[in-house]
Amino acid sequence: MGRLAWIRLGVIAGFIGLLEILCRGGAIGRLTMIPPSEMAAALVELIASGAVDDDIGRTLGSVAAAFTLAVVFGFVGGVALHAIPRLRRAADPLLATYYAVPFFVMIIATLNGLDRIPRVLDKVARTHRMRPLETALRLKLPAAAPYLFTGVKLAIAYSFIGVIASEFILAASGLGYQIAYAYNNFDNRTMYALMLFVLTLVTTINMALYVWERRLQRRRLGR
């Protein structure tokens, strides 16, 4: 682990330690926040009891569905808009308005990637007598890959936000619903335990994607 990673870890540990002291010392009331160590203990108890297994399954299932639909249809939509400039001009206000919806995030990332493909690659494809589909798969897709990857990362984050936020107000199950229910019933132990679960899960997924992206980019950027 590098020096920067240690510093980052130190800052996080320091922040958690400070919260622990402030909560234990009474500077932050229990109705506002419970100590982080208690959140962790509550989370372990909750997972071990199996009480939220169905909710976790439902939320992760919805996130997976939202993410898959966003990536597949967002990519196809991006390619279509790139191919038909008139349609793109018409859709521009929509893209600007709904930029935080995973599907639109992926469309924007795809358009960014396709816009930045060096034009010389088209000429190279023609000198190799490549057909349009082969050009797309063997040259354009790899050339646009870094932008598409950014879209995939954002689509995951926005899928979690979208699913959990809608469960807060529209669902009768799921992690979002359970968090809102606990909040309304002053059950801070359950609420913070579930929030910690979501935070840990999303951070882990993001870190894994970050490591994967860095590995892919290292060679490409000559690092």
User: For another protein, which stretch binds (CB under 8 A), given 79-87, 118-126, 174-182, 192-200?
Assistant: 118-126
Q: Count CB-CB contacts under 10 A for residue 14.
A: 10
User: For another protein, which stretch binds (CB under 8 A), given 21-29, 32-40, 122-130, 170-178?
Assistant: 122-130
129 binds another protein (CB under 8 A): yes
DSSP string, 148-208: HHHHHHHHHHHHHHHHHHHHHHH-SSSHHHHHHHHHHTT-HHHHHHHHHHHHHHHHHHHHH
DSSP conformation class of 211:
H
136 binds another protein (CB under 8 A): no
**Contact mark string toward another protein, 74..113, x via CB under 8 A:** ----------------------------------------
219 binds another protein (CB under 8 A): yes
148 binds another protein (CB under 8 A): no
Which of 150, 206 has the CB closer to another protein?
A: 150
Angstrom CA distances, 45 to 41, 90, 92, stand at: 6, 52, 48
Which one-letter amino acid corresponds to residue 112? N
Residue 71 and residue 152: Cα distance in Å, rounded?
Answer: 7
Establish how many alpha carbons lie within 13 A of residue 215's alpha carbon, considering only the half-sphere containing its beta carbon: 6
220 binds another protein (CB under 8 A): yes
Phi and psi torsions of 87, nearest 5°: -65, -35
Cβ at position 131, least distance to another protein in Å: 11
Cβ at position 68, least distance to another protein in Å: 25
Which one-letter amino acid corresponds to residue 117? I
Q: Give how many residues touch another protein by CB under 8 A.
A: 20
Chain positions contacting another protein, by CB under 8 A: 118, 120-121, 123-124, 126-130, 134, 138-139, 142-143, 145, 219-222
